[in-house]
Every structure is written in C-alpha cells, then in structure tokens.
Amino acid sequence: MSGTPARSMALPAAVAVGVLVAWAGLASRLPEVLLPGPISVAHAVVDRWELLGRSALSTAGSAGLGLLIGSAVGLGLGVGFLWSRALELAVYPYALLLQTLPVVAVAPLLVVWLGYGAPVAVASAALVSFFPMLTAAHVGLLGVDPEQVELFRLYGASRLQELRWLRAPSALPAVFAGLRTAAGLSVIGAIVGEFVGSNGEPPSLGYLVLRSARSADTALTFAAVIAAACLAGVVYWAARTAEARLIGPWHPGQGGGRA
C-alpha cells in the first residue's frame, strides 16, 4: 500500500467534497425538516458553538471514562481467564450475555442506581467497550507462540514474569485492535446512554440529538451528529496513534509497517 502524506490527505478530502456536494444536492430537493443542507448545518454549528462544545466535552468525558472502566474490567478479566480456567468457565457466558444487554432496556435501572446524565452514559459506554477488550485480551494473551512459553518455563519464569514480559506485549496488537473497536463503540455507547438516561443536566450530544429532534431542529441534530462523528474520529485517532507509538516499530502492518 502506498501512503504518502499527500495522498493520504487528498483521498479522504476528495471523498469529503464529493459527499458534501451530494448532500447539498439532495438537501435542495427535500424539506429542511427531513434533511438540512450543509450550509444550514454549518450555521447551526457556528451559532450553537458553545452548546455543542460543552455537550461534546461532556460526551467525550463519559465515553473516555466508560472506555477506561470497560477496558480495565475487560483486560483484568482477560488476565483472570488466563490464570483460572474455572473463572473463565464460570464468567465467560455471562460476559457474552452482558454484551447483548440493550442499554435502552436497562436505562431506567441505571438511572435508579446511578442517577441521571453522565453516570448512565459512562456505564453505557463501559458496557459496550468492555466486551471487545475482554475478547481482545483473551485472544491476545492465549495466542502466544507455545515455544516461547516453553522458553519461559525452561528458565523457571513466574506467572507474573510470563505475563509481563511475554503474554502482555505479545497481546498488544490484539488489544489495540480491540481498543480501536471499543473506542468507536464507547462514543456510541455514551450517546445512547445520554439519549435514554439524560435529563439535560449537563447537556450532552445524546441529549442534543433527542431534544433537537423533538423540536424539529434538524440542523442542530445534524450538527450534534457531526460533533459525535468528530469525537469518534478523535478517539479512534488517539487509539491509532498510541498503537503506532507503542507497537508500530515491531509489529508489522501497524503504523510504521506501511512506510
């Protein structure tokens, strides 16, 4: 794959221009309540900049904290599964079940337990980011070259040494792949949590989407959706950068591997 900086900027930019043109064309044929044009969305962004910014920050905070909690629990449980087959047998089915739990259905419970707003968004983001991280840790920690494990055993390495110097580093590529999935999901999770478990204090992107749709302010809805997409992009980019920094030098196909 070629990845000159100019091309890697120009290609997405060309797509963006194409999408904008198609969007404007389509919007000019539809009433604004169905599809606001790029110009009116841009107006909404500029006019409501302060509200959008505060909402995006609140959502980013919830997504980030949720991702942190989901990752910590997922990775911790992954190590637990590595060390205890019994724990894996006992807990894995429920972890799977948790993944299918619709946040919408339990949002009222989350509100009762945690209160309105950010706590529900954090819990919802943690809930959706937990499973990809658990799977990644599980696969990554087990997917070690058996001969390397033998090597460590031969030198009498402890379980902790084996984890720290062999399994954890060798799981990093899988964990980062999981993190990329989880990072995007955490933003969606936070927004869903806000959508069903927010009372507008503080304002958040999920709340803005809900509120603006109710008042038929589609331009603001789109602005909030675009802010959410930017947020997901930033989170993904951060995960990707951390990945390239940490494992790029040695893991083929990541970051530096394409150069």
* Binding residues for other proteins (CB under 8 A): 30-31, 33-34, 51, 102, 104-109, 111-113, 115-116, 145, 147-148, 150-157, 161, 165-166, 169-170, 172, 195-201, 207, 210-218, 220-221, 247, 249-252
Indicate the Cα dihedral angle 71, 76, 81, 84, nearest 10°. Answer: -170
Kindly provide the b/e burial profile for residues 11-47, where b requires at least 16 CB atoms within 10 angstroms of the residue's own CB: eeeeeeeeeeeebeeebeeeeeeebbbbebbeebbee
Nearer to other proteins, 135 or 221 (CB): 221
What's the closest the beta carbon of residue 198 comes to other proteins, in angstroms? 5
Residue 203, CB-side half-sphere exposure with 13 Å CA sphere: 15
Question: To the nearest whole angstrom, how small is the minimum distance from the Cβ of residue 183 to other proteins?
Answer: 22
**Nearest approach, Cβ of residue 169 and other proteins (Å):** 5
**Residue 53 and residue 209 in contact, taking contact as beta carbons nearer than 8 Å:** no
**Which residue, 68 or 226, is less far from other proteins as judged by CB?**
226
Q: According to the 3-state scheme, what is the secondary structure of 14-33?
A: HHHHHHHHHHHHHHCCCCCC
Q: Pick the closer one to other proteins by CB: 210 or 235.
A: 210
Which residue, 217 or 243, is less far from other proteins as judged by CB? Answer: 217
> Percent helix, strand, coil in the chain (nearest 5)?
80, 0, 20
Nearer to other proteins, 188 or 235 (CB): 188
| CB 151 to other proteins: min, Å | 6
Distance in Å, CB of 94 to other proteins, minimum: 15
Number of neighbours of residue 104 by Cβ within 10 angstroms: 13
Q: Which two tokens stand for residue 130?
A: 């937990």
CA-based nearest residue to 189, from 255, 101, 106, 126: 126
User: Shortest distance, CB of residue 112 to other proteins, whole angstroms?
Assistant: 5
Query: Of the two residues 124 and 212, which places its CB atom closer to other proteins in the complex?
Result: 212
